[in-house]
Amino acid sequence: MKNLVFFGALALFLASCTNVVFVSPQPEYIDALTDIPEKYHGIYEFEDSTINKDSYLVTDSSVGEFVLGDSLIVKQRGNYFYLNFFEENAYTVYVVKITHSLNYENIEMLFPNITDENAYLFNIINIEEIKAYDKDQIMFKSRPNYLIDKVSVNQMSVLLHQPISDDIVRLKRRK
């Protein structure tokens, strides 16, 4: 989980890696964590330092400068942690996947994305805004993110089966 929270803080610096924002924190049917378990406390950074060279401290109530409950909501489903950052009236979500095998810990950050091929599967709230942008090809303005609502477990799986991801490493455990 600490890896997930760490990835969440780093994810804010990688906003261009996702093109989706959500009406509510994801997954919708899971309660938010009230604190980060001690076994996830520590210092983390991205394995590829060309992406982000900063290190992030994870404590019981924060990830870097982000405090649980303020602008950060963390949810857990199995070995997936969902970092929900609230900004501009929507949630940007990054997912940290943690796997263990023998004495090896693998932490991967996944960036949800909608493609032209799967967009029809989602309840896109701002579809007219996106169509207008695509039609007008407005210069010097970034394409709006897809704002989606009522995301099912299957839909979240589709969003996470994209090739956009990054590895994270834990530098040291916090004592």
The pLDDT value given to residue 4: 46
- Per-residue pLDDT band at 128 (split at 50, 70, 90): confident
Q: Residue written as tokens 């796997």?
A: 99
- Per-residue pLDDT band at 9 (split at 50, 70, 90): very low
Mean pLDDT along residues 109-121: 87
The pLDDT value given to residue 23: 94
H helices, E strands: number in the chain: 3, 12
What average pLDDT is seen over the chain?
79
Mean pLDDT along residues 119-144: 78
The answer, yes or no, to whether residue 11 has pLDDT greater than 50, is no
The pLDDT value given to residue 63: 83
The pLDDT value given to residue 38: 81
- Per-residue pLDDT band at 13 (split at 50, 70, 90): very low
The answer, yes or no, to whether residue 14 has pLDDT greater than 60, is no
| pLDDT tens-digit map of 19-43 | 899 999 999 999 999 998 887 788 8
**What single-letter DSSP state applies at residue 68?**
B
Q: Which residues contact 131 (CB under 8 A, 6 or more apart)?
A: none
| pLDDT tens-digit map of 42-70 | 888 777 666 566 777 888 898 888 899 87
CA dist 9 and 14 (Å) reads 9
pTM: 0.78
What does the DSSP assignment read for 125-157? TTHHHHHHHHHHT-TTSPPPPEEEES--HHHHH
- Per-residue pLDDT band at 84 (split at 50, 70, 90): very high
